[in-house]
């Protein structure tokens, strides 16, 4: 049997110091990586929140400008077509808010419907897309947002500024609006929408039956909102 190896106190201390140094090095690297990951997550959350806030601000700018509700069918320019700014319907609030930041829902919805017409509701007896009106219909927007954004739970604690909500009115007509960053005295999020008297910011979240909750944040929106923030 081999005799046990005897080491001096100095040798043991040196090995212990080396092992401790390596452990500290690994812990240091882990801490640096964790700090980087947390900073990246914080940056992404800030960017997302900024993009959502851009939508709220753009919708709020329509208050006092869009003064009436006008559902009349009109032939529109394409892309970038719009009805006169002093009028519109609930969907026009969203269309104008997104377009203010480089996202043309008229074009996006039309292109998606042209490529995937069967994926969209058939409520109007059409056999092909109509770029004048498709993006101004709530069921079409809801389907587009579910296809290209997020369809989320109908839970008030999950509504964020810039989220999109749909309702069913007592008459059966669908409605849509944008969740505001402002809240009523009881904590209920306000909604920017046009339900008949032009664009307004109101406490109406629970006035009608909620049918959908969406979040649509394309890359064009993020880029535009970052540019606005930097300026």
pLDDT in tens, 54-71: 999 999 999 999 999 999
Task: Indicate if the pLDDT at residue 45 is higher than 50.
Answer: no
Smallest Cα–Cα separation from 155: which of 204, 193, 200, 205?
A: 205
Q: Strand, helix or coil at 114?
A: helix
Provide the residue range defining the domain that includes 139.
Answer: 54-230
Q: Alpha carbon of 98 to those of 30, 127, 146, 167: distances in Å? A: 41, 28, 16, 20
Q: What is the mean pLDDT of residues 168-195?
A: 98
List the CATH number of the domain containing 136: 3.90.1720.10
Whether 162 is covered by a domain: the verdict is: yes
Whether 167 is covered by a domain: the verdict is: yes
Using only the alpha carbons of the chain, give its radius of gyration: 27
Whether 91 is covered by a domain: the verdict is: yes
pLDDT in tens, 190-214: 999 999 999 999 999 999 999 999 9
Number of domains in the chain: 1
Cβ atoms 153, 213 nearer than 8 A: yes
Smallest Cα–Cα separation from 153: which of 94, 211, 90?
A: 211
Whether 37 is covered by a domain: the verdict is: no
Whether 198 is covered by a domain: the verdict is: yes
Whether 12 is covered by a domain: the verdict is: no
At residue 58, the pLDDT reads 97
Whether 209 is covered by a domain: the verdict is: yes
Query: What share of the chain in percent tops pLDDT 70?
Result: 77
Whether 176 is covered by a domain: the verdict is: yes
pTM above the 0.95 mark? no
pLDDT in tens, 111-164: 999 999 999 999 999 999 999 999 999 999 999 999 999 999 999 999 999 999
Q: Which two tokens stand for residue 209?
A: 């039956």
């Amino acid at each position: 049997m081999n005799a046990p190896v005897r080491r001096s106190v100095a040798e043991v201390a040196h090995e212990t110091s080396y092992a401790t140094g390596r452990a500290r090095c690994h812990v240091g690297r882990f801490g640096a990586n964790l700090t980087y990951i947390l900073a990246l997550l914080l940056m992404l959350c800030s960017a997302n929140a900024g993009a959502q806030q851009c939508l709220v601000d753009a919708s709020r700018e329509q208050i006092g400008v869009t003064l009436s509700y006008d559902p009349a069918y009109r032939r529109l320019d394409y892309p970038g077509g719009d009805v006169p700014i002093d009028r519109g319907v609930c969907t026009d609030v969203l269309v104008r808010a997104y377009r203010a930041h480089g996202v043309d829902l008229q074009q996006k919805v039309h292109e998606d419907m042209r490529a995937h017409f069967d994926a969209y509701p058939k409520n109007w007896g059409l056999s092909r897309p109509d770029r004048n009106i498709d993006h101004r219909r709530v069921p079409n927007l809801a389907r587009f947002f579910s296809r290209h954004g997020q369809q989320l739970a109908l839970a008030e604690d999950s509504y964020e500024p810039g989220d999109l909500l749909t309702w069913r009115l007592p008459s059966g007509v669908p409605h849509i609006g944008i969740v505001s960053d402002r809240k009523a005295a009881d904590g209920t999020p306000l909604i920017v929408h046009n339900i008949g008297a032009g664009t307004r910011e109101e406490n109406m979240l629970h006035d009608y039956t909620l049918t959908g909750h969406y979040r649509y944040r394309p890359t064009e929106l993020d880029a535009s909102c970052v540019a606005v923030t930097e300026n």
